[in-house]
Structure formats: structure tokens, C-alpha cells
Amino acid sequence: MSEMKKVAVLGAGITGITTAAKLIEQGFEVTVFDRQRYAAMETSFANGGQLSASNAEVWNTWSTVLKGIKWMLQADAPLLVNPTPSWHKLSWMLEFMRHIPDYQRNTIETTRLAIEARQHLMALGQTWGVGFDHSDCGIMHFYANQKDFNHACEVTKLLKKGGLERHALTSADIKLKEPRLQGSFVGGFWTPSDSTGDIHNFTFGLAEAIRKAGVTFCMETELDDVSIEGKGVRVTDNKGNSNHFDAVVVCAGVGSRKLASKLGDRVNIYPVKGYSITVNLRDQQSQESAPLISLLDDETKIVTSRLGKDRFRIAGTAEFNGYNRNIREDRIRPLVKWCNRHFPDVSTSSVVPWAGLRPMMPNMMPKVGRGRHPQVFYNTGHGHLGWTLSGATADMVASVMAGVRDETRSSSLTMAVVS
């Protein structure tokens, strides 16, 4: 019986790098593969920045389906579905609807996982000396109509079952909590235990730290093939390199579906595009007028994070449009208008747009753990909560792999003694 020592991690986003860090802490020899030159250059580059257990509600409801149909031809809608049919999109949506009965259970489980993830992520940052503009600022959800607020009250009950406490706010409370916010609201919720941080700075910084500790990085490397070979896995890249590993962890975001099929598994991830803008706060008035706490506007599905003194991140929308990575101006414009409407004294003269593909499973739960073959593992499919859940799921998969290794080591020792 061969001992599991050498591990390939496929993907250098937030899940891949946290997984690699947890694996090296467990004593594995780790090699990370990614097609980009640096870590965190795709979906982990410029997300909303929220570490948000309060946003753990899964999307599997009939109201989400009806909104998607209603907004199909509205270019600036929070949820946009390209009507052009494809088998992948159709199969994903049928599975999405099949998991509507799991809405409550999966929301509670996601909440529990998000709370657990906090300690792991903070521990990684401290252990490896990573700075990422982290702020224990809390997150405030606010609602412009009574129907949405009433729904949030029901969601709060599920979040509480998952272990999260958040507090209801009146319209007056909202103004006291964030006096810079302009608008009329019926109520809101405040989650003081949630926080924010720069996902790119964290992932890139952690990658550099573990590189110095011995993790091998094969960057700017496209994978030609990944295949089962005996009790291990062979990874072949476009540079002519072919290496054998004892195990592989697929953390490749929206590329995980294709890799999984090569390894004998079906991981039905669909790419759901999200957009963000980073408003550069270049003058004192803008810096004083941008919010310090993190926000979620339920009506527009827009989230915000203050990243240090001079950056204000605004993100949102979900677009079902295949693997299209184009940054559409008609999807960026609503984010700029939202800033101008709610924070009129913040200058939007310097705005950096971005779009990324979120890897979403139909049940809105990440794919974590073992595959069909004993040497294949997954940590992918986190959707809009990759930043929030990454610390916990990385620890889960690394712990499972360490358990397999130690069990094999123990069995080998027993066999040697008997012989």
C-alpha cells in the first residue's frame, strides 16, 4: 500500500490556495497548477469582499425562478438569464428546481459552515502573516419594501438555527448605523459578527507565503489531461510535463466540471457571472462620505465593502450566460448609479470595473470531499460564498486527506510488523 504524500491542487483561487495551505500544515508535499501568472486572478480577484454568514440563504426558491423569467429581457436586472438554450444550462436549472425542497436545510447548513469558516480563515491569515484590509465592521442588510423585509424575518429564523445571531433594525436605526446612506427604507438587519476583506490580497499573500514554505507552483500552465493512473493521478500540462501524484484536489472553479469528467465524476457546476466596481476614493470628501460598515441592498442584490482608506467595493448581479467573461457596460452602469444615488458625495470619477464567473452547484452547496476514485478530492462549487466558506472547506478536505494518509500509514506499519 502506497502512502499519500504528493498532492496536486488544481486551481490557485481562494479555495485552491487555502487548501494548499491546510495541506502543507498537515505535512503533505503540494504542487499547485493554474493557467494564470499569479494566484487569485480570476473569480478571486475583485468580489464583493464580504465574509458573510448573514448571506447564507440559498437561492433555491420558486420566487427566484419567477424573478429569473420576469427579468430575462431586462439588461440591468439583478438576475439575468441568457434565453439561448444549452444542455448544460437546462440540466443545471432542472436540478436547481429539484433542490427547492432542500431550501431550509441547505440554508441552515451553509450558515453553520460560514460561521465555522471564520476561525479557519483568520488563523490562516495570522499563521502565514497575511494582510488583507480585514475589517470587523459588521454587515447591515436594508430593505426598501415591506414584502422583502418580511421575507428577511423568516430567513433570520433559519440563520438562527444555523447559529447566527442578527438584530432587526427600524428605519431610524438604519440611519443611526450608517448616516451616510441616502434613501428610504422600511427596516433592516444587523450582523455584528460578519466582516470584510480583500480576497485578492489574502489569496495572493497566502500563496507567496506557502511558496516560501515549500509549496511548488506551476503557473501559466494549462492542463492537457488529468487521469487516474494506478493508485495515483497523472497530470499532463501544455508544456510537455507529465507528473504522477498520489492524490489530486480539484479547486478549479468553473473549470472543475471538465476536470471532474476526466476523473470519472459528475460535478454539475455552472458559471454564474458577477460584476463589481472598485471606486477609488481619491479625495477627502469621498473618503469621509463612503460607508465604513458593509451593506447589502436586498432590492438590487448589491453588496458593498470598504477596503482600507481609499477603496470602496460595490458588487452584485447574477448572469447566466455560459463561460462569457466580457465586462458589459450595461451591467456595470447600475452599480455606478447605485453609488451615486445612495452616496452622492462619493466621487465616481475613478471606477475600475470587473467581472468573474462564480462556480455554482445546483443545490448551492459546495462540492467538498472524495470523488469516485480514492485518490481524487474536491473543494469547489462555492458559488457566491467562496470567500466566506473557503477556510472551513479547505480544513475539511485537508483533514479527510490526512486521515486517509494516516490510516494507510498505520495499515502499512501493521503489515510490516506481521511480516
State pTM to two decimals: 0.95
Angle among Cα 362, 363, 365 to the nearest 5 degrees reads: 115
pLDDT in tens, 173-208: 999 999 999 999 999 999 999 999 999 999 999 999
What b/e readout covers 32-64, taking b as 16+ CB neighbours within 10 angstroms? bbbbeebbbbbbbbbbbbbbbbbbbbbbbeeeb
Give residue 70's pLDDT.
83
pLDDT in tens, 69-98: 888 778 788 888 888 889 999 999 999 999
pLDDT in tens, 223-282: 999 999 999 999 999 999 999 999 999 999 999 999 999 999 999 999 999 999 999 999
Give residue 108's pLDDT.
98
| 141 strand-pairing partners | 189, 296
The 10 Å Cβ neighbour count of residue 196 is 28
* pLDDT tier at 1, thresholds 50, 70, 90: very low
Spell out the residues 6+ positions from residue 135 whose beta carbon is closer than 8 angstroms to its own.
195, 196, 197, 292, 294, 305, 306
pLDDT in tens, 139-154: 999 999 999 999 999 9
Q: How far apart are CA 364 and CA 357, in angstroms?
A: 15
**138 vs 3, which has greater pLDDT?**
138
Residue 415 has pLDDT above 70, yes or no: no
C-alpha 129, offset from chain centre? 22
Class of residue 94 by CB neighbours under 10 A (exposed 0-12, middle 13-18, buried 19+): exposed
Residue 343 has pLDDT above 80, yes or no: yes
The pLDDT of 334-362, averaged and rounded, is 98
Spell out the residues 6+ positions from residue 411 whose beta carbon is closer than 8 angstroms to its own.
1
pLDDT in tens, 97-149: 999 999 999 999 999 999 999 999 999 999 999 999 999 999 999 999 999 99
Contact (CB, 8 A) for 250 and 16: no
Nearest to 72 by CA among 88, 93, 57: 93
Contact (CB, 8 A) for 186 and 143: yes
